[in-house]
Structure 1
Amino acid sequence: MAATTVLAGATQASANPNDCPGGYVCVWGDSNYEGRFLFVPGTSRSNVGDHMNDLTTALWNRTGSRVCFYDHSNYGGSVLAIVSPGESRGNIGPTANDRISSWRAC
């Protein structure tokens, strides 16, 4: 699965939330869509990888499906958040903050 990530040297780049394309799930490392980010086409990511594992604070579901975010890779552990189509969260709150490792349509 293709994904777009940006890391600029030792500093972490930010992406404008409006850069999150339709049909993608986009996650950011800091609140208010700041810090490191990952944009993934479709509704499934079995492992976010080292760049974003357990580092997500903000997200935007730009797909047409409800998406469940999980505590562990391969959709394991607890469901930390359920996000409706088109919904964004500038801060996912203490239950899910810095814990997301995978997601899929649910």
Structure 2
Amino acid sequence: MSVKKIAYAAGVSLAAVAISAATALPAQAAGQISICRDVNYGGGCVTTSSNVADSTRQLGLFWQESISSLRNWSDANICFYEHPGYTGAVMWVGRGANVANTHYYDMGDRISSWRPC
């Protein structure tokens, strides 16, 4: 199930996408997400913390605005932001959800930070 909403805050347009899933979470991956450079979980993936303020600084230039698919293994909803420091457009991904193509939600190759929300 997905829902798109557009909100305006402080003169900045924020696109919020709600994605949820009713699947069980693997216990070994609680508190983590997997991000991939290409759609359908290809092009190189890494499993990392569910709270990253700046993907470039914390994961390296390889991940700078290059995420095209992801998996939320954490036990929380995760907000993925366009810019470092949790700013810009945001995509909300429910606990246990998988997003095979972030481009579909206008966030392809744009994600720079994320945290539980």
TM-score relative to the length of structure 2: 0.67
Give the structure 2 partner of residue 89 of structure 1: 99
2:53 and 2:109 map into 1 onto residues whose CA distance is 16
Aligned structure 1 segments of 4 or more residues deviating by more than 6 angstroms: none
1:89 Cα deviation (Å)?
1.0
List aligned pairs for 1:1-106, cutoff 5 A.
Answer: 21-41=29-49, 43-49=50-56, 50-79=61-90, 81-92=91-102, 93=104, 95-106=106-117
- Root-mean-square deviation (Å): 1.8
Runs of 5+ consecutive residues of structure 1 not aligned to the other structure: 1-19
Aligned length: 86
Answer 1 or 2: which has greater strand percent.
2
* Runs of 5+ consecutive residues of structure 2 not aligned to the other structure: 1-27
CA contact (8 A) 1:38 1:52 kept: no
The 3-state SS of whatever aligns with 1:32 is helix
Cα deviation, 1:6-56, whole Å, max 9, x if unaligned, reads xxxxxxxxxxxxxx9343111001011001222113x20011111111101
Supply the distance in 1 between the matched residues of 2:75 and 2:64 (Cα, whole angstroms): 24
Report which of the two has the higher share of helix: 2
